[in-house]
């Protein structure tokens, strides 16, 4: 496979290291800081981020913060006062309302001066502090430099502008403009997705890469694969390639874990290798397909692929892929292989019910609420 001269990049092997580099980058910012988070919690490290953001705003750096109305709902109304008083701007995406609560901004990124970008699965919350083995949730991220940061900034600007998620009469036309603006910037490797944007571009690009893949490694916190993805993974093995999945042995959302395990039998019989990470909650979202790396906020489930606003970065880089595989090899030292086993009736019923809720009911409710808005 050809080598792509993509953006300069380095792995962030856990959230604690990522937070250190993010805080240093904010402190060094000279023009702008843009932070987008699904979950932002008070305490450590959230309060430290708030202080550094306020300091940046006070030295006249343009500071823009976007947090999700559901994921960050525990924050008090005056939590962001120091940032706002220093000149920064903080907005809440889709403030909670019963007629639109399903649709969320699940994206996670930090952009510095439109030159440096941090992407991954980590939110800013206490549970992420640690190495992912002895303490703290297990997660990955990337620090990127180059044009990809500006492309991510353009994507950020769209949701920041339309954060209220309120559509006036004839709002369909406004929503169409949002759709156009959020569509992927494929030449910069940014795959921005969301409800009502048509076929999910991250899913489409992943399937395209899998069609010619020889070596596939996927890490997914919430893995409830659709038929297309299951077929693609089985095809890789059938054509002589290898597929390894690293999934959550400990999950913060047991319902998703139960639904995902309903698909294990068919994948195992096809030759897919599945390991479950044991020491801590696994929260990473990563795929390495030969020399292509996908990193960002999207899980491989119906919510990420059809309901949430998400952003993934796709980079074709042999060095980066090799380094990512080394990180995964180290992580598997803390995982146990999944073996096919007989399921009792009660467990099969639980798996079927969980799968129905997540793959049928949740997307139906999101489509219903989205229609009311447009």
Instruction: Provide the annotated active-site residues.
Output: 106, 108, 113, 283, 285, 290
> Quick check: 69 and 271 in contact, CB under 8 A?
no
What phi, psi does 45 have (nearest 5°)?
-95, 5
- Cα distance between residue 151 and residue 148, in whole Å: 5
Residue 314: enclosing H or E segment and its boundaries? strand 310-316
Note every long-range contact of 129-134, with CB atoms under 8 Å and residues 24 or more positions apart, other chains counting: 129/15, 129/16, 129/19, 129/44, 129/45, 130/14, 130/15, 130/16, 130/280, 131/14, 131/16, 132/13, 132/14, 132/15, 132/279, 132/280, 132/331, 133/279, 133/280, 133/334, 134/279
Write the DSSP assignment of 266-278 as a string of letters.
Answer: HHHHHT-EEEEE-
Alpha helices in the chain (DSSP H): 15-28, 46-58, 81-85, 147-161, 171-182, 201-210, 227-238, 254-261, 264-270, 302-306, 318-331, 345-356, 362-373
What phi, psi does 146 have (nearest 5°)?
125, -165
- Cα distance between residue 284 and residue 248, in whole Å: 9
List, in order, residues 6 or more apart from 290 with CB less than 8 Å away. 1, 209, 212, 213, 214, 215, 216, 321
> Quick check: 271 and 237 in contact, CB under 8 A?
yes
> Quick check: 259 and 354 in contact, CB under 8 A?
yes
Residue 80 is encoded by which pair of tokens?
A: 């962001």
Classify residue 138 by its DSSP letter: B
Classify residue 124 by its DSSP letter: B
Residue 83 is encoded by which pair of tokens?
A: 């940032």
- Cα distance between residue 167 and residue 152, in whole Å: 24
């Amino acid at each position: 496979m050809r080598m792509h001269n993509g953006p300069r990049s380095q792995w962030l092997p856990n959230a604690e290291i990522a937070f250190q580099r993010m805080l240093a980058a904010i402190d060094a910012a000279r023009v702008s800081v843009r932070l987008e988070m699904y979950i932002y919690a008070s305490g450590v490290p959230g309060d430290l981020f708030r202080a550094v953001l306020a300091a940046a705003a006070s030295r006249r750096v343009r500071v823009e913060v976007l947090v999700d109305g559901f994921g960050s709902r525990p924050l008090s109304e005056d939590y962001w006062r120091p940032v706002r008083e220093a000149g920064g701007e903080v907005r809440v995406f889709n403030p909670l309302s019963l007629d639109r609560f399903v649709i969320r901004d699940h994206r996670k990124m930090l952009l510095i001066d439109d030159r440096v970008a941090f992407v991954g699965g980590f939110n800013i919350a206490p549970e992420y502090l640690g190495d992912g083995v002895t303490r703290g949730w297990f997660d990955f991220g990337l620090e990127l430099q180059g044009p990809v940061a500006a492309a991510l900034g353009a994507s950020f600007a769209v949701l920041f502008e339309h954060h209220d998620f309120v559509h006036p009469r004839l709002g369909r036309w406004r929503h169409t403009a949002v759709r156009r603006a959020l569509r992927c910037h494929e030449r910069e490797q940014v795959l921005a997705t969301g409800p009502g944007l048509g076929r999910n571009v991250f899913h489409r690009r992943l399937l395209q890469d899998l069609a010619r893949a020889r070596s596939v490694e996927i890490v997914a916190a919430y893995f409830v694969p659709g038929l297309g993805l299951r077929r693609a993974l089985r095809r890789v093995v059938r054509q002589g390639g290898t597929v390894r999945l690293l999934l959550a042995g400990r999950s913060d959302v047991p319902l998703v874990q139960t639904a995902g395990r309903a698909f294990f039998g068919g994948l195992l019989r096809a030759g897919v290798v599945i390991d479950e990470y044991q020491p801590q909650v696994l929260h990473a979202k990563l795929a390495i397909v030969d020399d292509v790396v996908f990193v960002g906020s999207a899980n491989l489930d119906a919510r990420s692929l059809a309901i949430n606003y998400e952003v993934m970065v796709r980079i074709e880089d042999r060095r980066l892929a090799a380094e990512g595989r080394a990180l995964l090899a180290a992580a598997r030292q803390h995982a146990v292989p999944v073996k096919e086993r007989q399921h009792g009736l009660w467990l099969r019923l639980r798996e079927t019910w969980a799968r129905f809720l997540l793959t049928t009911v949740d997307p139906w409710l999101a489509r219903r609420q989205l229609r009311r808005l447009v």
